[in-house]
Structure 1
Amino acid sequence: MSDTSLDTATPAKLGRSLWDDARDRLLANKAAVTSIIVLAVIAVLSIFGPMFLPHQYDTVYRDYTKVPASLEAYPRQDQVEPAFNKIAKRARLSIESYKMREDGFVEAQVTSKRKIKERNAKRHFDRSDLFADTMVQGLTDGGKSATIVSRINYMHFYFGTDANGRDLLSRTLIAGRVSLTIGLLATIVAISIGVIYGATSGYLGGRVDLVMMRVVDILYSLPFIFFVIMLVVFFGRNFVLMFIAVGAVEWLDMARIVRGQTLSIKRQEYVQAAEAMGITDRGILKRHIIPNTLGPVVVYMTLLVPKVILLESFLSFLGLGVQEPMTSWGVLISEGARNLEGASWLLIFPSIFLTSTLFALNFIGDGLRDALDPKDR
């Protein structure tokens, strides 16, 4: 008699890993998911946005200093004629008649006491940010009378311009690149050093742990600002300096967190079994200790990025950050604070981007903390 129980046996269901459960809990957190979307949008705008903008972040428009944010194009209708008259006076031309054509050109009949030089007249008008493609036509009266036709050069400044006449939208997005890059790179360095240092100290224990933690205490006692100023004196202000200065200090907290986790993990049965099998200390750290500390590390990383961005903004506010014409959110906020009375948009828009990024990262950190909480598994 054949056994048919094997034919009717149902296939075993695959179990769910702890990471699958953590992912589902994270996706169920609406605040964290919304924050991930907001952060992704800001990152994409900062990375790719400047490529599609008509203005470069370092282009100076002398005729558009501190213009307010607007959806309408500049120059406005009431700005064209005064600007045209001012340029004509500078070129020593007298305007006999003036009209704005429907095709976006200005046409004016001008005269001069001397012979009008076509090249000189075109240079004066085209050098302005308001006009372009100037043509001198119909020279008469021995070259002392002519018709000047110039195209009105309309521009959009959706975030306005700064005190130097640079487009604030392009500068805000470029600043996002700098701030996010410093935040991520410095955080990666701090996490890498802190995890390796803390795991090694906690696992080896004894005198090694004592000496390594005293080194951390000594570094804690050094004033951060003094450390940064010392680096600025020796190496000057640049992007790499910010990355080194912040990353070289922020790993201390991570080292202590990982050391505490390691002291608990190294007493677990699977670590003792690995030791009994003769696996080297390096192998145990790589395969068992460090992977099991990733939960707190990931959470701390999302909290460290905004901390690093704030530190960079603080240093830039003090003048120890990135150099012109490059900028960061901290630099823009510093400039906006100085011009708050007459040009509030210089502070509002960079502040919106910075606060949105900080809130998003903190909400993501809270979501990851809840998702990776062992009590909820």
Structure 2
Amino acid sequence: MRRHILPPVTRPILLLFALAALAGCGPTAEPAKAAADEHGAAVDEFERGPHRGRLLRSGDFSVEVSIFEEGVPPEFHVYAYRKDKPVNPRELTLTMELTRLDGRVDRFSFAPQGEFLRGAGEVREPHSFDVKVRALEGGRAHQWAYAAYEGRTTITSEAARAGGVTVETAGSIVMAELVDMAGRIEITPEGQADVRAWYPGRVMALNAELGQTVRKGQVLARVESSHSLQTYSIPAPLSGVVIAKNSNVGDVAGGEALFVIADPTKLHAEFFVYPRDAERVRAGQRVEVRTLSGDNRVVAPVEAIVPTADIASQTLMAHVHLPPGASATFRPGMGVEGSFQVAAWPTALAVRTKALQRFRDFTVVFARVGNTYEVRMLELGRQTPEWTEVLGGLEPGTQYVTDGAFLIRADIEKSGASHDH
């Protein structure tokens, strides 16, 4: 994994639990209770009620809003008071709207349950939203609006670029199970040829040098036959480069090759398949072949599996045919690495595995809307080193942070955006 050294980033804005003034019939606003700390994040920015929820006042009437999540999915519990004395929840009607960062609105109705009003439905994570509360009691209407942000921060685009933050759009992909192997680059059998004398005799002329590029049909040598004493020409059987020269003028040509010619564009990678992987590797599978530095890579198919195993290592040999253009960066004899795609399956929604972070007790990614970043708690499925399937917690089409996610997390943790209701 490539590591980035990040320059300092100055956060221009910290949006944490900003409290709006109440509107409507109530004559007084919800008071701000605490000063901000040195980072601009409030220590306790709202008045709390007897059940440790957020207390919203309108004259002598007030409601306490809390999210209850002990042993049940998170749900709203609302308590009502008049002159700070409990009010029977059956005496009022209450609704609530939550506007999330991406603009979606969750609406809740409430029904009496014991001493409180219980919200209908689960409060989905993250608990980060702009809230509107409307209540009707004793013929009087009340409404409040406030911000309750969790796991959210704002960073300018310039600061994000300087910090190495990059994003991708979550969507459907084909996930693959990969098996990594080591190998080497070799010239294919059809890309290499020995140039031999047709009949024994004396070498009269040699017309090629080591490293010279020759074309198919070009005369490479002339040999005088020992039987007929006639001289005949020996042409190049293919186009390529002379990689070996084994004779000189005046030598007697016999069984040894005069030249060896290789076409450097006809390459394959030979990979050593260990017994534990032998049953999973098949001809036709896709393989990412890369140099040991990882700077150059190409995707190519498995051409063949040699069926005989090496006696000492018990490995089989898998041949991966490389396209002609690969010869610009892959050379015969080079060591390489390969990732064999031994299984693949379509996935409706997935994110980069490297984007996953921990936040509270959740595995998350950070969604971006404009210059604002916010956690998304994920329900995860299958995982590969590159991709992780998402079963819930993220909408398709969401932009999320892939590189620099730790910077976003650190900014959120520094600002103190807590899970506090």
Tell me whether the two structures share a fold, i.e. TM-score over 0.5.
no
Larger radius of gyration: 2
Higher relative contact order (CA 8 A, sep 6+): 1
Instruction: Give the number of the structure whose residues are more often helix, by fraction.
Output: 1
**TM-score range, shorter-chain basis?**
under 0.3
- TM-score calculated relative to the size of structure 1: 0.20
- TM-score calculated relative to the size of structure 2: 0.19
